[in-house]
Amino acid sequence: MKKALLVLSVVLFFFERADACVGKTLNIGALNSPEGQVLAEMLSTLINERTGTTANVKLYKNTQELYEAVRAKQLDILIENTSMAMHVLNKPFEGDARKAYEVVKADYEKEKGLVWLKPFGFVSGNGGHPSYTAAVLRDDVLNNFPALPRVIGKLGGAINDEVNSRMIKSVEAGEKPHKVARDFLKSRKLI
């Protein structure tokens, strides 16, 4: 009986790992800013260490280039904030970050085939408008990587305004974004 349970446990472990995206590659895109660099590195490190998937970071100089890469399916995940997303949707800025999140979440999925995950937690003042930032995935990526939302979801609500500001300042002071991201993940016991 104990041997049967052991075999069943081993089989279930391997099935769970197979569901966790083993052996594939994902591309994460963000704007080339200290915040974009740190968040993209954070996602990349989390995915690389918690799944069998390789996650690469690609940085873009502007929103147009970022979305062209998404349309061309060169990116699987992007880092986006609700203020910029409202602009991309040609909608007026929304003063309530939570309401803006609900609007972009619904419209991106319907119009662009992109799925917003839970915001990272901090509220930035993008252009004077309160804004949430989150990972956004192509919907076909969700089908091919079903465990991804659960893995990335560990960052949902995990970064407050103070921590975000401190990480950005560290990168601006010359610290490598990968190290800043890794230190944060270790401090939260996420890797």
Helix, strand, or coil here: 6?
A: helix
Portion of the chain with pLDDT greater than 70, in percent: 86
- pLDDT bin (cut points 50, 70, 90) of residue 46 is very high
- Name the residue type at position 121: G
182 near 39, Cβ under 8 Å? no
Q: pLDDT tens across 121-145, in order?
A: 998 866 677 899 999 999 999 888 9
Mean pLDDT to the nearest integer, 84-102:
92
Give the number of other CB atoms < 10 A from CB of residue 121. 17
104 near 89, Cβ under 8 Å? yes
Q: Which stretches of 51-155 are DSSP H helices?
A: 63-71, 82-88, 97-107, 139-144, 148-152
Alpha-carbon distance of 80 to 116, in angstroms, equals 9
Q: How many residues does the chain have?
A: 191
**Superfamily of chain region 28-182:** Periplasmic binding protein-like II (3.40.190.10)
Give the number of other CB atoms < 10 A from CB of residue 16. 10
Q: Are strands 25-31 and 77-81 parallel, antiparallel or unpaired?
A: parallel
Q: Rounded to two decimals, what is the model's pTM?
A: 0.85
